[in-house]
Amino acid sequence: MHESIVLKIPSNIQCMEIVKDVIKNTCKTLPLTQDDIQALLYSTEELIHNAVTHAYKDERGYIEMTLHPFKTGLRIDVHDWGIPMSHKKHKSVPIDKEASAGFNRIYNLVDTFEYHNLGKEGKKFVIIKYASYPLHAQKNLTTQTSVSSEKEEKEVSDPNIPITIREFREGDEEGVAYLIYKNYGHSYIKDLFYYPQKILEYHGKEFYSVVAESDGRIIGHFAFILIPESTIAEIGIVVVDPLFKGRGIMNRMLELVLKKAKEIGLDAVFGEAIMYHTYSQKSNLRHGFGESAMMLGKTLADVTLENIELTKKYERGSVLVGYRFFHKITKSLYLPKVYKDQIKLTYLNAEVSFVEKKNKEKNKVPEHVFLTYQFDPPSNIAMIRVDYYAKDFKQKFLRLVSQLRAKHCDMIYADVSLEKIPQINKVIKIMNKRGFFYSGVMFFYHEKEDYLRLQLKHSDKIGSKNYVCYSDFCKRLSKYILKDEKRIKK
């Protein structure tokens, strides 16, 4: 068995001569005929040309080629980190077995041809050629070395070309993945959207998408992600082709997103407006969203936005949570004394009515409580959920917080039920003493119930000034949160 050989080249077709030399020298130790070697050279050239002209269209990148020699042949892996490609494009060939170009050509030249979508790690093609023997029929190989290429996609910037806003349908998945890649490279945190086949598989189950289309191209995407065990969804995954920005596409997509969310029977949707600039805040307010919470440190420290100086501080950023309701229900709430006035203002701002219940803290208290949490490694944040109070609450809560601190979470958020906990004052007092301060109200968030959200900083990279507020409510909420943070530190 031979050892593998790895060659990493820039996305430049001129490097193909280096690749050919490596393949030829490797094949000297293998029982491959000249026709076998020529087949490998032609196939590899097709794959590298595909990466240069399509995966790295109008940009620079790297292509990694790995040779795996074995006793009776050679396997070659061609790996790039460029534009995602639909698995259907690979599975659709050979369309014409007599074809002599593109993927069809590769199928005719080698014994095995595979495609692997690696998500954020790009994609990989695998070809295998076994040594030819007299019993095997020899293939007639063309000596033509030029590679035919598809006509390059023309970049569109003509403002007169019409733009269609519509619901997602099968066939859009590759265009959506390409938009994510074009805007974020491989840095986008929701890596499902790098897998065209997963976009198609999970659409209608975990999320619903709306797209913008122009001249047959997907040039915009907006979605709402269903919240498990609830009747709400989070709007997001918003991306517009840079060539089409400034033409109101995002607002047009949001209108259709809201219409679709209402059609499927949701009670509300909420959005997390990034607070580096006010554009998304203005858009949400324009579409009837009521602001309810501010989550410090929700965005990663290495997020950068063009012409936005606040993103250059290398600090985690904040988001402003706003709700758009389709149905409103009068709730019966236990309000903690320390946050009562602010919570009332939040319900008033959202135009949601409620009835305050008395905090019956002297009722019989259960012996044990069960606390749940979620930890998200990519964003390095954790979320605790508190639905009940029991005699061992403090002990279990402190143990859980200690475990999350040991994971080095940058931020820990905690949702406390406003509908189930008569002893809510005790719960908030324990949490305040451990550094948790006010964030806001999350409506319908768990099993159609309302929750008070608190937050705890566990990093020195949490920005407290790298954001701006547009609305008066946001400004008041920001001042309140900073004041409450200082209070719990005393």
pLDDT per residue as tens digits for the range 176-203: 998 988 887 776 778 789 889 899 999 9
Domains and CATH numbers, the chain: 5-130 (3.30.565.10), 164-266 (3.40.630.30), 331-489 (3.40.630)
Q: Which of 245-259, 319-333, 459-473 has the lowest mean pLDDT?
A: 459-473
Contact 436, 489 (CB under 8 A): no
Distance CA 314, CA 292 (A): 26
Q: Which amino acid appears at position 378 of this protein?
A: P
Give the pLDDT confidence of 296-330 residue by residue, as tens digits: 999 887 655 554 555 556 788 899 999 999 999 99
Distance CA 441, CA 360 (A): 22
Q: How many CA atoms lie within 13 A of 119 on its CB side?
A: 10
Closest CA to 413 of 462, 355, 447, 368: 462
Contact 436, 454 (CB under 8 A): yes
The 8-class DSSP code of residue 203 comes to B
10 Å CB burial of residue 137 (0-12, 13-18, 19+) is exposed
Contact 421, 427 (CB under 8 A): yes
Average pLDDT rounded to a whole number, residues 399-415: 94
Task: Note if the pTM is more than 0.75.
Answer: no
Return the pLDDT at 87.
60
Distance set, CA 257 to CA 180, 287, 443, 444 (Å): 18, 11, 19, 19
Distance CA 75, CA 73 (A): 7
pLDDT above 70 as % of the chain: 87
Give the tokens for residue 454. Answer: 């608190």
- Using omega within 30 degrees of 0 as the cis cutoff, is the peptide bond preceding 94 cis? yes
| Residue count (the chain) | 490
Q: How many CA atoms lie within 13 A of 151 on its CB side?
A: 2
DSSP, collapsed to helix, strand or coil, labels residue 195 as coil
Distance between first and last Cα of the chain: 68
Q: Which has the higher per-residue pLDDT, 286 or 98? A: 286
Q: In which element (H, E) is residue 35 found?
A: helix 34-50
Q: In which element (H, E) is residue 376 found?
A: strand 372-376
Please determine, for residue 154, whether its predicted confidence score (pLDDT) is greater than 80.
Answer: no
Closest CA to 350 of 327, 383, 333, 319: 327
Give the tokens for residue 164. Answer: 């269609």
Give the pLDDT confidence of 32-67 residue by residue, as tens digits: 889 899 999 999 999 999 899 888 888 889 999 999
Please determine, for residue 95, whether its predicted confidence score (pLDDT) is greater than 50.
Answer: no
Q: Nearest 5 degrees, angle CA 116-CA 117-CA 118?
A: 105
Please determine, for residue 89, whether its predicted confidence score (pLDDT) is greater than 60.
Answer: no
* Residues linked to residue 442 through DSSP beta bridges, in sequence order: 451
User: Taking the alpha carbons of 391, 394, 398, 401 in that order, is the dihedral positive or negative?
Assistant: positive
φ, ψ for residue 416 (rounded to 5)?
-115, 125
Average pLDDT rounded to a whole number, residues 73-84: 91
Give the tokens for residue 420. Answer: 């189930």
Residue 207: band (very low, low, confident or very high) from pLDDT cuts 50, 70, 90? very high
Give the tokens for residue 105. Answer: 């050509």
Average pLDDT rounded to a whole number, residues 436-462: 95
- Mean pLDDT, the chain, rounded, equals 86
